[in-house]
Amino acid sequence: MKFKPYQQSQGQLFPQSIDELVPKDHIVRVINKIVDNFDFTYLYASYSEEGQPAYHPKMLVKILIYGYTIGVRTSRKIAERLSSDAFFMYLTGMQHPDFRTISDFRKDKGKYFKDCFLQVLEVCKGMNLFNMQHIAIDGSKIKSNSSRNRSYTLSELEKKAKLIEKIFKEAEEADKAEDKLYGDKTGYEIPEELQDEARLLGKIKEAKEKIKKDKVKNVNLTDSDTKIMKKGDGGYDTCFNVQLAVDSKNQIITVCDVKTVSTDNHLLEEIYPEIEKNTKERPEIISADAGYYSGETYRYIEKEKIEAYIPSSTYDKEMKEGISKYDRRNFVYNKEKDEYICPRKQPMKYSNNSTRNGNKFKVYKGTNCRECKLKDECIRSKNGIYRQIQIYENDIFKKVMSDKLKTAEGRAIYNRRIAIIEPVYAQLKYIMGFTRFLLRGKEKTKNEFNLVCLAYNIKKIAKLMPA
């Protein structure tokens, strides 16, 4: 006999409970158990006693988490699965909220996902899944739910507004002409065909105000919080800059956040306090790439006595090629005379004090550069006559960091950063399918990212739970 019997009309005895269809080690059981133990006091308090009873928020949180763990994120696709997927049915108890209910819950109650993220982190801590020995920090650009073509400069917005105002004026003149022929208006203040333009005009006004207030080059009319940013592939698109802080033991996410700035060089001072706040512990070591380097960052590290491994923007080049003979670090300081001696043994006299980006520095200028045979190698400016160097107040911190990163141990610690955090972004983007936000606006995208990251941590818990 080649084949097993196949009869679609044959009677079947289905399990009495959907629970019997779910394997004992399936992730939905982990989600179910964790969410059942959440403290939802504040979430419950946000519901009114009046009106029709709502679907239970526990159930909605469960299906959203499971959807995000398997890359099913849109409310319509989740709603479809509620009638066809045994794992979703298990989580809902065979209830069937429609896509609108799921979508509205994610938008309206999303601020409570941060609390859910922190409660999952507490579970991870209770299971000893992270140890705070080494926390790696990194950012990535995630596409926003808006088109780059909807981003406009102030002059472009003004042109667009004038065009819409011209349309309104023509419509108004047409109405007046019709009034003379047919009498009074129908009562509609804005004709139906112009209502979209009226809403757009309002958005344009808000966008113009945002450009002036925030001093940005352009604003997106679909999502005014998103920015055009350079992505990892070198292209540009409307994105948000997401931030992660990940523990080295099991790659548990300890901090997740969404920023509207495209660069990371001033974000460490915002991310680091969140690590201590979320975990209630102080990391032994933190690491981040050169994108987080700035004078302010080094000052912050020194002030907070953080054991950090963050290279300067020239670290990679210096490790390969070394530093130039005429780099200012090769100039010798004479404390008695408050002057520097250049590699040609010529004095550089103090000139003035200055400040850049909040960092104070002293300027020293060469005295005998005009006659120096090597001035073309030493002076960068084509029209420069005298070499000058800038000595920053935080140069000592830079030297300490540079010396630390040049040791074999320091390089090993810094290089481990990649193995800690890069796989996490790979999981989020390529396994869980998180390459684009579904929600709009800074606050809602933060809420969605909290949901993504708590789903990721629950996947880790399910994987690392003892059999």
Banded pLDDT at 8 (limits 50, 70, 90): low
Task: Give the pLDDT confidence score for residue 194 in this predicted structure.
Answer: 44
Q: For 87-110, b where at least 16 C-beta lie within 10 A, e where not — what string?
A: bbbbbbeeeebeeeebbebbbebb
| Tens digit of each residue's pLDDT (9 = 90 or more) over 380-406 | 777 778 898 898 887 888 888 888 998
Adjacency order of strands within the sheet including 388-392: 332-334, 339-341, 347-356, 359-366, 388-392
User: What average pLDDT is seen over the chain?
Assistant: 86
Read off the pLDDT of each residue in 130-135 and give the average, rounded to a whole number.
97
| Residue 361 contacts residue 391 (beta carbons within 8 Å) | yes
Banded pLDDT at 3 (limits 50, 70, 90): low
Read off the pLDDT of each residue in 222-241 and give the average, rounded to a whole number.
86
Facing residues of 366 across strands?
348
Architecture of domain 137-145+231-313+402-441: 2-Layer Sandwich (3.30)
Task: Give the pLDDT confidence score for residue 189 in this predicted structure.
Answer: 45
Lowest mean pLDDT among 84-88, 149-153, 196-200, 283-287: 196-200
Nearest to 88 by CA among 144, 96, 347, 338: 96
| Residue 164 contacts residue 201 (beta carbons within 8 Å) | yes
Element (H, E) at 135: strand 135-143
| Tens digit of each residue's pLDDT (9 = 90 or more) over 314-361 | 887 887 888 888 888 889 999 899 999 998 888 989 999 998 877 889
| Tens digit of each residue's pLDDT (9 = 90 or more) over 265-311 | 999 999 999 999 999 999 999 999 999 998 889 889 999 999 999 99
Tell me the C-alpha distance between 384 and 393, whole Å.
25
Residue length, the chain?
Answer: 467
